[in-house]
Amino acid sequence: MESILDRFFRYVAVDTQSNEESESQPSSAKQLKLLEMLRDELAAMGVEATLDEYGYVMGSIPSNVVGKVPAIGFIAHVDTAPDASGAGIKPQVIKDYDGGDIELKGVPGLALKPSEFPEMLHYIGETLITTDGTTLLGADDKAGVAEIMDAVQFIVEHPEFKHGEIRIGFTPDEEIGRGVVKFDVPRFGAEYAYTMDGGEIGELEFENFNAASAKIHIQGRNVHPGYAKGKMKNAILIGTELNSLLPVEQRPEYTEGYEGFFHLIGFGGSVEEADLTYIIRDHDRQKFEAKKKTILDCCDFINGKYGAGTATPVVKDQYYNMREQVEPHYHVVEKAVKAMEMAGIKPRIQPIRGGTDGANLSFKGLPCPNIFAGGLNFHGKMEFVPLKSMEKASEVILNIISLYAGD
């Protein structure tokens, strides 16, 4: 078998950054390179696999047990976040991590430090894969992709391994909230599924944020600064004023657990016009709706102060909390708990402070909790993943399959 590490390196070598400004599906054509690779690799292993026009790879492994066993799906996304470059990734392999700082050699003076990321100390003695400091790593979610493919390889090379029907899914554009917009759940054919898209080893999640985006256009008025009194409307300053109206304590850097936030992720422009982009998150649906109204109220205040049409907001829902869809099928969570315990892992059930394809899939009728993929510090140059965590995630997949086959 190809090692899971070599497989992971092959996948992160492909730039698959999604593009939130694009209206196409997938949002970037370069994602198709990895999707085509995965389709072909599945076919080479004898797994029936397709890649459709929307960029969804679907694979199917028939049952080898007698009797009815639920068809179980495992899903991961191939795209990397727009927050940092995903091109030319040069992973660093740190064997027998000693608990010290890890120099990221692509940027002099930049290092992963336990003083800043204390979770690193959980992995002393293990092999860590880091970035070189110039890009993200892509463990979100190519670790999940590698884990699923590793499990598939084990299954096809061990015909004695008992399993029901297995469905494999790889999706584009999860990072921009469009991962399963056109995903055909009936064609996929699973009764229950799991996304391999969580963080640290042991994480198990079946509730996530309700999510929306907000784009606000500020229309200013540029006049020669020497003659601007009573005439100029500086769109940059109006934008900063609008942002100051939002509650400071509800920014990501001040929240945790079930606390929601407003997150300003983009701000650019000139005196004449400027644009602000936010993401809005909350686990509680009522608080989520209130946050969206707060954005609109702030725009109304700005328009009342500077004139109608100064602030034009566009607010769009992205996904909702999957808990209400998964909880009626709680056995899918219980199976994952037991599968982790079988692998010697202590499960940690917690809310996702984010979202996954599983949230939208759950609302499409496919209950889909989220299991750890093993990475940490997603979406940035400090991203890293312990090798053992990826190996254990693959083991959990096989354990889940065994548990369903044994029912």
Length of the chain: 407
- 275: which strand partners? 217, 268
- What integer pLDDT is reported at residue 161 of this predicted model? 97
- 385: which strand partners? 129
Catalytic site positions: 79, 174
- Which domains are delineated in the chain? 4-208+321-406 (3.40.630.10), 216-317 (3.30.70.360)
At a CB cut-off of 8 Å and minimum separation 6, what does 41 contact?
A: 149
- Taking only the tens place, the pLDDT of each residue in 346-396 is 999 999 888 788 989 999 999 999 999 999 999 999 999 999 999 999 999
- Taking only the tens place, the pLDDT of each residue in 158-207 is 999 999 999 999 999 999 888 999 999 999 999 999 999 999 999 999 99
pLDDT tier for residue 407 given thresholds of 50, 70 and 90: low
- 57: which strand partners? 51, 170
Q: Cα Rg for the chain, rounded, in angstroms? A: 23
- Taking only the tens place, the pLDDT of each residue in 28-75 is 999 999 999 999 999 999 999 999 999 999 999 999 999 999 999 999
- What integer pLDDT is reported at residue 355 of this predicted model? 76
The mean pLDDT value of the chain amounts to: 96
Q: Are the C-beta atoms of 209 and 354 separated by less than 8 Å?
A: yes
DSSP string, 31-44: HHHHHHHHHHHHHH
* Rounded distance between C-alpha atoms, residue 170 and residue 54, angstroms: 11
Strand order in the sheet with 348-349: 48-51, 57-61, 166-171, 72-77, 192-198, 370-372, 203-205, 348-349
270-274, 288-292, 318-322, range with the lowest pLDDT? 318-322
Largest distance between two CA atoms of the chain: 85
DSSP string, 165-188: -EEEEEES-GGGT-TTTT--HHHH
**b/e sequence 176-196, b meaning 16+ C-beta within 10 Å:** bbbbbeebebeebebbbbbbb
* Rounded distance between C-alpha atoms, residue 145 and residue 373, angstroms: 9
Nearest CA-CA partner of 312 in 220, 218, 186: 218
Only one residue has tokens 């692509």, namely 106
